[in-house]
Structure 1
Amino acid sequence: MRVHIVVFDGMDDLDVVGPFSVLGMAARAGLGVEVRLTAPSGSAATTRGGLPLHPEPWAPEEADVLIVPGGGYASGENTGVRAEIADGRLPAALARAVRPDLVLASVCTGALLLAAAGLVTGRPCTTHHRAVGDLVAAGGVHVDARVVDDGDLVTAGGVTSGLDLALWLVERFRGPDASGLVQRAMEYERREPLWRGAGAGVRR
């Protein structure tokens, strides 16, 4: 499982660090997981909390999963997700990345970036509770769950939901034993509920 996490200025620290920590631990445990940070611009990015990140080149064709973090949207500030939506280049890059064997995933308000790319219309999805109205207005079908897996679209709602998203992806692609191993190593249990559509089977 090759996972690329998209980075941009003003993203929430936990939305990036949470999934990266889970997937990095899975990689070090030899569970067949690779994770990297990436950005269409190729430029360094700084999180909302001031953490500088240096992404690798944008190559979504090399990914099995593309994770989009959120950040700043629920506060109403014109930073993070809102700034990227206004700029338009990241949503356009996400729309161009779509292909049949790519899973697009989001943490918290990252779902609004997928919405801006036209990728949630008519699809079950979730986001931060303060952004649900905007997600629905953009065409998404809100599901009240921690993680919503609709096959090639997986979304998670809540500030710490990146941990749960990443653990579910490990289970979906590498099985429950792999996910359980990472959870025990992290001393963290994945939060529920998980909503799964018909196309969200576990790969062994």
Structure 2
Amino acid sequence: MRVHIVVFDGVEELDFVAPYEVFSAARFFTDRPVEVRYVTASRPGFVRAAYGTRIGVEHGWAPEQADIVAVPGGGYARPDAPGVWAEIRRGTLPRALGAAPRPGLTLAALCTGVMLLSAAGLTRGRPCTTHHKARPDLERQGGVLKNARVVDDGDLVTAGGITSGLELALWLVRRELGPDAASSLEAMLEYEAHGTVWSR
């Protein structure tokens, strides 16, 4: 299982760290190889997250080398600051996401990262969710909102809220690697996934 987690200036720390840890730890509970990396749609280098954390990103955009591309959010409440709004205005990441879908690839997003998928036209007419403050925008842009913590529509999986990266990653581990891997991860993390998972 190859997971690429997209990071950008203004990304919320918990949004990208929580899935990174869950996916990375999954390798201890499966015989399948698991590879997790941070990627950027711009040049590799340093990214400054919402609270000032600097993270070195060595890998560029390569969705053809991934099974899951996970998109965190951040900065949606501050339209003039780095984050989701700045990425939407720049257009590079939404264009890259719009060109990414292919058979075998799951696009996943959490919190306001879902709005980057929306900007790419990927949530229109699809069941989805996002952070509660962005839900009206997502619906106006054509998303079919579901009242669930995680919404699984096959090759599009979304989750609502900052801490939902844990649920998103645990759900995808359960789906891709099986319930034993997911329950073992929950025990290791001392965390029980909560909230409704909506799936077809």
Q: TM-score, normalised by structure 2?
A: 0.95
SS of the residue 2:5 aligns to: strand
Matched, 1:179 2:192: no
For the structure 1 residues 31 and 194, does the alpha-carbon distance in structure 2 shift closer, same or farther, using more than 3 Å as the test?
Answer: farther
Tell me the CA shift for residue 74 of structure 1: 3.4
- Cα deviation for residue 77 of structure 1 reads 4.4
Q: Is the 8 A contact 1:81 1:109 kept in 2?
A: yes
In the alignment, does 2:169 pair up with 1:147? no
Aligned residue number for residue 50 of structure 2: 48
SS in 1 for 2:138: helix
Partner of 1:67: 70
- Following superposition, the deviation at residue 79 of structure 1 comes to 2.6
Aligned CA-pair RMSD: 1.2
Gaps of 5+ in 1: 198-204
Matches within 5 A, 1:130-169: 130-169=133-172
1:200 match: none
Looking at structure 1, the residues matched to 149 and 79 of structure 2 have their Cα atoms a distance apart, in angstroms, of: 22
Look up the match of 1:15. 15
Structure 1 window deviating more from structure 2 (187-196 vs 68-77): it is 68-77
Instruction: Measure the CA separation in 1 of the matches of 2:7 and 2:109.
Output: 12
1:191 aligns with 2:194: yes
Whichever residue aligns with residue 122 of structure 1, its letter is: G
Which amino acid is 1:88 matched to? G
* 1:92-143 Cα deviation digits (max 9, x unpaired): 0111111121100001000100000010010000000000000011110010
AA partner of residue 46 (structure 1): R
Does the CA contact (< 8 Å) of 1:124 and 1:140 recur in 2?
yes
Q: What corresponds to 1:2 in structure 2?
A: 2
How far apart in 1 are the matches of 2:11 and 2:54? 11
Matched residue, 1:25: 25
Task: Flag structure 2 segments of 5+ consecutive residues without an equivalent.
Answer: none
8 Å contact kept, 1:22–1:182: yes
Aligned partner of 1:91 in structure 2 is: 94
TM-score, with normalisation over the residues of structure 1?
A: 0.93
After the TM superposition, which residues 32-43 of structure 1 pair with which residues of structure 2 at under 5 Å, given as runs?
32=32, 33-43=34-44
Q: Secondary structure at the match of 1:79?
A: coil
Q: CA deviation at 1:29?
A: 4.2
What secondary structure is seen at the aligned counterpart in 2 of 1:129? coil
Deviation at 1:58, TM superposition (A): 1.8
Q: Which moved more, 1:30-39 or 1:79-88?
A: 30-39
2:121 is matched with 118
Q: What is the CA–CA distance in structure 2 between the aligned matches of 1:94 and 1:132, rounded to whole Å?
A: 20
Kindly provide the CA deviation profile for residues 46-95 of structure 1, in whole angstroms up to 9, marking residues without a partner as x. Answer: 11011112221221101000000000113444430000001101100111
Contact 1:71 1:109 in 2 (8 A): yes
Q: Which runs of 4+ in 1 moved over 6 A?
A: none
C-alpha distance in 2 between matches for 1:76 and 1:3: 29
SS at match of 1:130: coil
Aligned to 1:202: none
**Percent of residue pairs bearing the same amino acid type:** 54
